[in-house]
A and B are shown apart, each in its own frame.
Chain A
Amino acid sequence: MSDTKKETPGQLTGGANAAAGGRNQGCEECTRREFFARLGIGSLIMAGAGSGLFSYEYFSPNVLFEASPIVKAGKPDQFAPNSVTMDAQSGIYLVSSAKGFYALGAICTHLGCLTAWKPELDLIACPCHGSRFNRDGIKVAGPAPQPLPWFKVWLADDGYLMVDRSTYLKVQEFVKV
């Protein structure tokens, strides 16, 4: 308090806050009590931030025992022409069309339920909230906000069709065999 009185009126009107902040910044005129209180608060803030970071790191697993995104779908001759074959385990549809093979994600884009192929309707249907998709993955009914994703498909050297569930295609690609 005493040092603010020493300041000129000009300084006071211009930057009372800045002057107060400046006075405290280096803690040059702190009492011992203020100094230790600041040290304590600062340490608590650092400890709190450290605990937050520690918890976040601790609760994020570094190693996951989840299935590989790349799956072996089968040999091309296993799939009948113009068919939709679901693999529930890996959550994909392998579609054999006139243009070639492609793969769709079977996880509904609404809330993540596993969809099912309904041959009698020629549609992919989700049991949870009634979304329906055609065999190109385009939504035809229901709450799904996006079409089913197209995954990257390629023919491996051993003659198997491979699907990478982590690579989403932006443009439709077909694998001719």
Chain B
Amino acid sequence: MFETFTILTLQQYWWIIISILASLLVFLMFVQGGQTLIYTLGKTDTERSMIVNTLGRKWELTFTTLVTFGGAFFASFPLFYSTSFGGAYWVWMAILFAFIIQAISYEYRSKPNNFLGKRTYETFLFINGALATILIGTAVGTFFNGSMFSMDKLNLTNIYDSAISRWETPFHGLEAVLNPHNVALGLAVFFLARVLGILYIVNSVKDENIFNRGVKQMYYNAIPFLVFFLYFVIALLFKDGFAYSPGTGEVFMEPLKYLHNFLQMPVVLLIFLAGVVLVLTGIALFLFKKSNKGIWYTGPGTVLAVLALFLIAGLNNTAFYPSTFNLQHSLTIENSSSSHYTLTAMSYVSLFVPVVIAYIYWAWKSINNKPIEATELNDDQTHVY
């Protein structure tokens, strides 16, 4: 089946898969958002333990999605992996550090004799929650604003200096934070993760005090989220974008490129609008109807909105990883992808994804059908973080 597709179709198919993984990842970062709220929403030890435990049952899902996102990006668009990770070194390293300290914090936090102490592990969770969301958001911002890198495969033939991609500023990625548009996306992701975190926690923990504190916190986080998000989207729609000519691959600046992408791909625009409406609906239900079901709206809404943003970054002849150092070195889905053979093979593997989603749903349903209560944490039949 996939063998018969053109290379361009496969490249688009894989860009869509990457976008779906990215959007699921942003949704699942409710774990990170929640981690920054352990002390804000939980005032007693038991309350905090309930929050940590409800987040702790999902952290692996987020983590695994991140790992799969990385692997899938590598397999489908290896030139991005090569250029961005080796170039924007400090940003990616900071993200990695934020994730090393997460994995163990849940498992070790409440274990006796844990060397660093409970408080340290909770601080690790906070750092992970804040740093990972802001940095990943900022890094994705460079998809729309470009980075200072050069890329020339011919360097491979210079045996003494063979690096094909080079970062053309000494800051190696840190310069991304100097662009307010990148940072706005980073902060929007951070506050969105907190919004999602609140909605997830009130849905999965049965505790009135936590719920009431959640309402108050929602105002503190939903409003900044909206401010940064609106700024990011409006600036995006009116800015010049990185377009390329389909025949020659030549990259050029096109005024209102991202707005054009929405208009030329109305389905994507609809996805985006539906996403935004759902995100707001979930928040409103929680704030004004005191419903704990908000996550079921804001979560899928996040997936749709992020999906749409990724689609306009890479489809419709748009360079998804632009170089502001030399426009012609920008990465597009056409010049950075794997070969037809590899994309075909990987496309067959991608058919497993629905199976994976099905068993995740089934397994979780079988163990997690009721919210956490304080009494459950004292039940010695269960594993407690």
Chain A complexes with chain B:
no
Chain B residues in contact with chain A, CB under 8 A? Answer: none
